[in-house]
Structure 1
C-alpha cells in the first residue's frame, strides 16, 4: 500500500482529540450547556480510541483487514452522522465514542499494513502532525462552515479505505475462537483506567482488581482475547510502558504550555496556539525520519535515547522561564513521543509471534493512548495545585 494512503488512513484520528480544542465555547452555546459539559465529547472520544484499539485489533487478527476496514468505516460514518445532525450533549458523547471506535480501527490497520520502518515512521508522523495542526484546522473549518463540520474531520480517513482494500493481497485471517470474558474484562479495565485521573479513589482500586482478574484469566485461557504470548512478554510490556510514559510527558506539556507561556511571556491562548505549531510540527515531521533511521541503531540504544529525551523535556520546562527554552522543551516532548510511538511499536511487534502482530499493535497503541487520560490531568494538577 502506498505510504500517503497509510498516512491518510491513520492521521485523521488526531482531529478527534485536537480539533475541538478551540471550539468548546461554540459547542457549549449550541447545546445550551457550559464549557465543562462540552468537553464530554472529547472525553468520550478518548475513551473510544482507548477501548476501540484492542477491540478492533482483535477483530483484525480474527477476521482480517477487509473486515476491520468495513466495520471501522461504518462506525466512523455513523458516529460522525450523529455528531453533525444532533446538537445535544448526549448525542455529542455517543457520536464521539462511536466515531472514535472507527478511527481506532483504521489507525491500527494502517500500522498493520506498514511493512517497513519508513512507512511506520510516516504513520506516526501523520498522527503527530495532524494533532499539532488540529486546533487551528478545526477553528478554520468552523469559521468557514460550522463546529459540526470541524467535529467531522476524522471522517477524512475513509478516503483511504478503498486503497487499503486494494492493497490487501493476502486473504483474510481464519476465524479464531471467541473469548467474551477476556473482552469484557479488558473493556472494563480500560474504562476504569481512563477514569483514574477523575475518580482515583474508586477507579484506582477497580483498575487493580480488574488487572489481577485479567491476569488470572490469561493463565486460564492463554489463547484467548489477550494471548499469553503477547501479554506475558516482558520486552513487549517494557515497550508499552515506555510509550505510555513518553505520551504522558508529551500531553502534560501540551496542556501546560498555554499557562506557562501566559505566566512567563504574557501571551494569550490564541498567540500561544499559533506559536506552539512550530515545536509540535517540528517534532512530528522529524519523527518520521528518525523512525526510519532507527533500524540502523540497536533497539536498547534507541529506547534509552527516547527515554532520556522524554525525561529532559519536563525538567527543562520546570527550571526555565525563557520562552525559547520552553519551546525547546515542547519540541523534545513532541519528538520523543511521536518517534517513540513508531520506534517502540516496531520493537514491540518484533518480539512477539508474527501471528499475534495485530493484537500486539492493539495493546501497544492502547498503552500509548491511555496517556491522553493522564497527561492533561497531571498538567492541571501542577498548574492549579489548590484546585
Structure 2
C-alpha cells in the first residue's frame, strides 16, 4: 500500500544539510513506514478492542475506517501546510498530531474517544506522508520517491503482523498507535529539511495567474475512469485487509500473531510482484491493463470471501495487494496524462483522494456485510 501526495508548493533549502546521500534517501522511507502501519495495524486487534469497549465487531471497525477518513482529510490540509511552511513545518505539525491522537487513543475508555484519537492520529500520518514525498522529490531523479513508496508499502503490509504482536504483548491500544514509531526518526528528518522557505511565484505585470479548479480535472479525458477504478481497487483491498485475516484465522484456528505473519507475507509478496504488471502495462495497452486490474481485484474478492481453503484466502489477499499497488503505479499516470504542468498537482491530489476514500470505505463495508 502506497499513498503518494504532491506538495502544494516547492521549497528552496536556505541552509545546507550535511547528510550522507544514502541516509537522505532512507530517512523519508523510515519516516513514512510506521505511519502506514496505522492503516493495517489494528486489524487483528479489533476483537479485543470490541470486547473491552463493550461494542460489536462491526462498530469496532470504525477504528480502521476513522484512519482512512483522517488521512483523506489530512492530506490536503497538510499539503497546504507544506506549501506555506515547507517540509519542516509539516514534520513538526505531523509529530504533534501523532502524539495528540495517540494520547486520546491510550486514554480512551469508550469507542467515540478512541475513534476521535485515531482520526487525529491519521491526520498526522497524512502529514508524514506529504513531508516524506516532498523531501524525496528534492533529488530530481524519482529514485528517492520510489524508495519512499516502497517504505510506505512495507509499513502497510507489515502492520498486520506488528499490530497482532504488540496487541498480544501490550494490549489492543498499542496496536492502534504504531504510527508513533515515526517519531524515532523525527529529529533526523527535521535536520534533513534544513530551513526551507516556500517558493512563491512572481506574477508578470499584466498577466493574471491561472486558476485550476477541481471540476477542470474531473472533466479531463480519462481522469474519472482511472480514479473510479482506483477507488474500486482500494475499497476491495482494504475491505480484505480487515476481513481476510479474520476469515483465515477462523478456517485455521491460528493465533492472531501467526495469522498476522502469514497475512502480511501474502500482501507483501503481492505488492512486490506488482512491478511486473507495471512493466508489462505499456505492452498491454490501457484497455487491457484496466481489464486485468479489475479482473484481478474481483477474483481476489471472491477467493478471500468465499473459498473454503485457507491458502485461497491468502492468495486473494496477495492478488488484491498486487492489483492495488500495480493500479497506483499505472493509473496515476493515466489519470494525470495530458493535464498540463499547472494541473498536475491538483490532479494527483484528487486521484489520491479516490485511493484514500477506499481506505476509509473498505473496512466499513466489510464490517457491514459481516454484521
TM-score by length of 2: 0.73
> Does the CA-based 8 Å contact 1:81-1:95 persist in structure 2?
yes
Map Cα deviations across residues 262-297 of structure 1 (whole Å, 9 max, x no partner): 78x55557465443233201123344x559x75x96
Q: Take 1:353 and 1:276, find their aligned partners in 2: how far apart are those partners?
A: 40
- Pair 1:112 & 2:138 matched: no
Q: C-alpha offsets along residues 107-139 of structure 1, whole Å, 9 cap, x if unaligned?
A: 123233333444344333333332222232122
- What is the SS of the residue equivalent to 1:23? helix
1:373 corresponds, among 341, 360, 367, to 360
The CA deviation at 1:104 is 0.9
How far has the Cα of 1:324 moved from its partner? Answer: 4.6
- Please give the residue correspondences for 1:203-218 in structure 2 after superposition, counting only pairs within 5 Å: none
Q: Which residue of 2 aligns with 1:314?
A: 298
Judged with a 3 Å threshold, the aligned counterparts in structure 2 of structure 1 residues 157 and 301 are, in CA distance, closer, same or farther, namely farther
Deviations 1:127-161 (A, max 9, x none): 33322222321222233334333322112223444
Deviation at 1:81, TM superposition (A): 2.1
**Cα RMSD over matched residues?**
3.8
Contact kept in structure 1, 2:75 and 2:126, CA below 8 Å: yes
Distance 1:53 1:153, change over 3 A: same
Q: Label 1:124 to 1:374 Cα distance change in 2 as closer, same or farther (>3 A).
A: same
Write the distance in 1 (CA, Å) between the matches of 2:330 and 2:197.
Answer: 28
Cα deviation for residue 13 of structure 1 reads 2.7
Kept in 2, the 8 Å contact 1:258–1:269? The answer is no
Structure 2: state its 5+ residue gaps.
Answer: 1-20, 203-208
SS at match of 1:12: helix
Match of 1:337 in 2: 324
| 154, 168, 177: which one aligns with 1:152 | 177
Selected match of 2:97 from 45, 52, 75: 75
Distance 1:103 1:380, change over 3 A: closer
CA contact (8 A) 1:12 1:130 kept: yes
How many equivalent pairs are there? 335
Match of 2:197 in 1: 171
Please state if 1:58 is matched with 2:42. Answer: no
Task: Give the Å deviation of 1:98.
Answer: 0.9
2:211 partner SS: coil
8 Å CA contact retained: 1:17, 1:45: yes
Q: 1:333 to 1:120 in 2, by over 3 A?
A: farther
Match 1:89 to one of 80, 103, 111:
111
SS at match of 1:223: coil
2:27 corresponding residue in structure 1: 5
Please state whether the residue corresponding to 2:197 is helix, strand or coil: coil
1:129 matches 2:116: no
TM-score by length of 1: 0.70
Residue 67 of structure 2 is aligned to residue 41 of structure 1: no
Q: Which has the higher contact order (CA 8 A, sep 6+)?
A: 2
